[in-house]
Chain A
Amino acid sequence: MRAQRTFVKRQPQLPLPPWVRGLVITLFSISITMLGLLLVTFLIGRVMPIDPVLAVVGERASQEQYDAVFKDLGLDKPLIVQFFYYVSDVLRGDFGQSLLTARPVADDIARVFPATFELATIGILLGCILGVPLGVIAAVRRGSWIDQIARVVALVGYSMPIFWLGLMGLLLFYGILGWVGGPGRQGIFYEDMIPSVTGMILIDSALARDWGAFWDAFSHIILPASLLGYYSLAYISRMTRSFMLEQLSAEYVTTARVKGMSEWAVIWGHAFKNIRVQLITVIALSYANLLEGSVLTEIIFSWPGIGSYITTALLSADMNAVLGGTVVVGLVFICLNVFSDLLYKFFDPRSK
């Protein structure tokens, strides 16, 4: 289920400077992917047996009210026309109106995406800070007790249903110990108190220099973020270990050791330096997965993120919201991909 990104691009020859060519090809393939993404989402929305009209009018509506909304939503037009309208609206930056929240999809996304972004970023930071050293140590001390512990920690992370762990964590750290704030992004004291600048409460409260609000938000985010961090830690530490093992068995490491270089320098100066590109790819992927929004985590922690936004919208056939959400998530994913590609080219001597 986790993507491996080790692909080589074959590029057609054009009479342009290489960087321009690269840029054009990258942009072209991004736009093709985006268009494909839109088309697939759009088709899904139209073939789904959930009726968007019912989402608007509800159970009691009479047939004429139903028909009026059916027309309002443009559902009487041919599919291809609907798609064309949609794409041209999106190109003008208009994602349409959400059926469920009675406001523009763009506004909704501006509200839910920062929530997910904040959570995913702290999650991935935790995952990296703990996962990378754990993986390196496990590789250096292969077979030792640290390696075994790292393996168990990671495999448990791979194997634990997140909703079970989430509820149990909430029960223990919030319900019994009272160490962390409860579900939601903020305590009620601070509800609507902090002016929204970025939509990320930690940053907004820091900007407003309201440290009480900052700690309050921190106490709410730390548990779900740790949970997500743990899941990425599991993946990152395993991959780090695997990459490191490959490097440590290479000849140059033996040579360096023979030359009397310190173990620290061998590990961090040489071996680790050589895996950072692969590692960045892995981390970028983990990050992208977290940015999709973990629906189950969001449900358990009442976190108003993009994952549950898209899911609810999908189940109510609120297609504008689904399309908007998918475009944003897809764009983030593609950008991270391009970003790690660029880093790859930048760091990897072979591709120069």
Chain B
Amino acid sequence: MSSQASSLHAWLTSETPTSRRQARWAAVYKGWLSLKSNHMAMAGLAIIIALITVAALAPWLAPHDPFVQDLGNRLQPLGAEGHVLGTDSLGRDILSRLIYGARITLYIVALVALIAPIVGLLVGTISGYAGGWVDLVMMRITDIFLAFPRLVLALAFVAALGAGIENAVLAISLTAWPPYARMARAETLTIRGSDYISAIRLQGAGPLRIITKHIWPLCISSLIVRVTLDMAGIILAAAGLGFLGLGAQPPSPEWGAMISEGRRFLLDHWWVATMPGLAIFTVSLAFNLLGDGLRDVLDPKDSSS
């Protein structure tokens, strides 16, 4: 077992990789090692893994059904019998709702993290690579979306499609992609002019191949860093929509909606809003810590000193 592990370690850290695959894995491994030495980032990663576990095991972990109401037993304080984190306005167990809510949070985060950067990457690289009129038109469109008050755009979108978690995700993605497009375009412009892309072009590679095989991989690392750092913003934006009643619909235990429901009791029953607030805070913090660490690893500019 240990000899196997050490030989894997040797293979991954070999100074003279024998295959392209080995070289690629070695680079990933090196990044992992440097990430591992960053305690804060590891703490973030641990929280995120814990969140995923909790979401996956929600039915087994939750002490109560998150939807069952008990009007006679509402607004119970922390540590009440059978309700560690108390109960909400309709007498539902807050801990169970938080646990089930983790699924919704993950769902939002995963969807937005898939949609926004990919749209941005597409628009940005095509615009940057094609140049000329295509660039001009696409960048004007990007500008329009950037100049739009973000919440208005999201609100309008949600209002048009109807409130609900999927539409909230779409709306957030709609407001989130322009910065990625800007970024991908800037990277593309730098890469496009480089010698090695010219070399590939001379070898007869078409634009599609150059973009997908050579430009995208180079943009990805900075995108990942940015997405991770934006993750907190995404969770908070979803919570903000929930606060305005346009996010997840009742009785869904989405954390933002839970804060919104509980904020009426903030002065007397502070835990009802504070517990989901803490949950959002913890997860956002985790993503930020991880993003910060990833930046140090992936972003060469920052890790040089």
> Which A residues have a C-beta under 8 Å from some C-beta of B?
1-8, 10, 29, 32-33, 36-37, 40-41, 44-45, 47-50, 142, 151, 155-156, 158-164, 167-168, 171, 175, 242, 245-246, 248-249, 289, 292-293, 295-296, 307, 310-311, 314-315, 322, 325-326, 329-330, 333-334, 337
Contact = CB atoms under 8 A, between A and B. Distances in A.
A162 B240 CA distance: 9
Contacts of B226: 4
A4 B184 CA distance: 10
A159 B240 CA distance: 13
Interface string B133-150: 001000111011011111
Nearest to B245: A315
A310 B182 contact: no
Contacts of B263: 163-164, 167
B250 interface: no
Contacts of A163: 240, 243, 259, 263
Contacts of B20: none
B186 A6 contact: yes
Interface stretch (B62-70, B96-104, B171-179, B195-203): B171-179
A10 B135 contact: yes
Contact of B160 (A4, A47, A249, A292): A47
Contacts of A7: 139, 182, 185-186, 189
A293 B302 CA distance: 32
Contacts of B230: 1-2
A289 B285 CA distance: 22
Contacts of B141: 36
Contacts of A40: 144, 148
Interface of B: 40, 131-132, 135, 139-141, 143-144, 146-153, 155-157, 159-160, 162, 175-176, 178-179, 182-183, 185-186, 189, 226, 229-230, 232-234, 236-237, 239-240, 243-244, 256, 259, 263, 266-267, 273-274, 277, 280-281, 284-285, 288-289, 292, 295, 301-302, 304-305
A307 B149 contact: yes
B152 A164 contact: no
A245 B151 contact: no
Contacts of A151: 40, 292
7 contacts: A1-B230, A47-B160, A163-B263, A246-B304, A292-B151, A293-B149, A315-B155
A160 B149 CA distance: 21
Contacts of B234: 1
A296 B240 contact: yes
A248 B305 contact: yes
A40 to B, nearest CB: 6
